[in-house]
């Protein structure tokens, strides 16, 4: 897990990640699922499967529950040094995934920034904003902030892999901390313990909704094959759900949807020129 991704993929030809990815490449398997080294899985997918036409960098779409359903952070760690045009491809791919797998008719796409106003953000996010606003086939709602991840009706939130990975890990750590603090406060008082027993059903439902195990794995969108990245601490339930996500991605034909959407955008750009 501590080894560098691309270098290890080239060095360890008989690693399980390499063998499984080769099976997808050769058509002996329809999907790849791994809870191992994320960097190695991304590197193997990029080197062996290559990216889809119109995609320069693949991105990890990680599910996050909110008040309106499920929002995907894209990219959650595959491409830490993204360019503005990479986020355009992420918007198209995230939209295709939300439509195909989640059944969202009109997925809403937001760009993570330090304010909702159009002029807010870094040079990178400002340039990405301009490109996204001009991209056909997506519903771009503009800049969003951290609170919007949970309160606003969003299906895809765009960012580079560096920001996305930090956000995801911070959210996970916060959820664990709040759960621990809540248990400590409840256990210190008999009345609270009795109340907690009465609210057991609510706690169970909340845990199920917020747990990574429920969502299983995150699709690596943009590679020429179905690749699912599972959490490094995955339980048997999480692995089962990661396999389910892989199965749904194959059955719903997400990659053909992505290719079609990207081809339409490229055709539109050619006509304008």
For the record, the structure tokens of 163 come out as 């920001």
130 Cβ partners below 8 Å, 6+ apart? Answer: 84
Q: Quick one: 5-272 is in which CATH superfamily?
A: Isopropylmalate Dehydrogenase (3.40.718.10)
Lowest-confidence segment of 88-97, 168-177, 245-254 by average pLDDT: 168-177
pTM of this structure: 0.88
Query: How many angstroms separate the CA atoms of 36 and 46, rounded?
Result: 16
Domain boundaries, the chain: 5-272
Provide the mean pLDDT of the chain.
90
Contact, 165 vs 80, CB < 8 A? yes
The torsion angles phi and psi of 225, rounded to 5 degrees, stand at 165, 170
Whether the CA torsion 159, 164, 166, 170 is positive or negative: it is positive
Q: How far is CA 136 from CA 91, 131, 139, 213, 263, in A?
A: 11, 10, 8, 35, 11
Q: Read off the pLDDT of residues 118-165 as tens digits, 9 standing for 90 and up.
A: 889 999 999 999 999 999 989 999 999 999 999 999 999 999 999 999
Which pLDDT score is estimated for 268?
66
Q: Read off the pLDDT of residues 214-237 as tens digits, 9 standing for 90 and up.
A: 888 899 999 999 999 998 888 899
Q: Read off the pLDDT of residues 15-49 as tens digits, 9 standing for 90 and up.
A: 999 999 999 999 999 999 999 889 999 999 999 99
Backbone conformation region of residue 103, classed left if phi is above 0, alpha if psi is from -120 to 50, else beta = left
Contact, 155 vs 138, CB < 8 A? no
273: pLDDT confidence band, cut at 50, 70 and 90?
A: very low
Which pLDDT score is estimated for 270?
52
Which pLDDT score is estimated for 207?
74
């Amino acid at each position: 897990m501590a080894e560098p991704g691309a270098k290890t993929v080239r060095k360890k030809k008989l690693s399980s990640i390499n063998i499984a990815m080769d099976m997808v490449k050769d058509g002996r398997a329809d999907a790849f699922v791994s809870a191992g080294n994320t960097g190695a899985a991304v590197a193997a997918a990029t080197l062996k499967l290559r990216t889809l036409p119109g995609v320069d960098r693949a991105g990890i779409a990680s599910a996050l529950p909110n008040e309106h359903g499920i929002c995907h952070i894209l990219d959650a760690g595959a491409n830490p040094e993204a360019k503005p045009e990479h986020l355009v491809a992420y918007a198209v791919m995230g939209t295709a995934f939300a439509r195909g797998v989640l059944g969202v008719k009109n997925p809403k796409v937001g760009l993570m920034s330090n304010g909702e106003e159009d002029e807010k953000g870094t040079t990178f996010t400002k340039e990405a904003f301009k490109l996204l606003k001009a991209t056909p086939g997506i519903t771009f709602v503009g800049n969003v902030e951290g609170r919007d991840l949970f309160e606003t009706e969003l299906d895809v939130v765009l960012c580079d892999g560096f920001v996305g990975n930090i956000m995801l890990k911070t959210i996970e750590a916060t959820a664990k901390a709040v759960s621990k603090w809540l248990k400590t406060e409840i256990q210190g008082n008999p009345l609270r313990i009795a109340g907690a027993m009465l609210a057991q059903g609510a706690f169970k439902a909340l845990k199920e909704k917020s747990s990574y195990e429920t969502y299983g794995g995150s699709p690596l969108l943009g590679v020429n094959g179905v690749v699912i990245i599972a959490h490094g601490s995955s339980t048997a339930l999480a692995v089962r759900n990661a396999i389910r996500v892989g199965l749904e991605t194959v059955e719903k034909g997400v990659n053909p949807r992505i290719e079609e959407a990207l081809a339409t955008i490229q055709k539109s750009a050619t006509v304008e020129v």
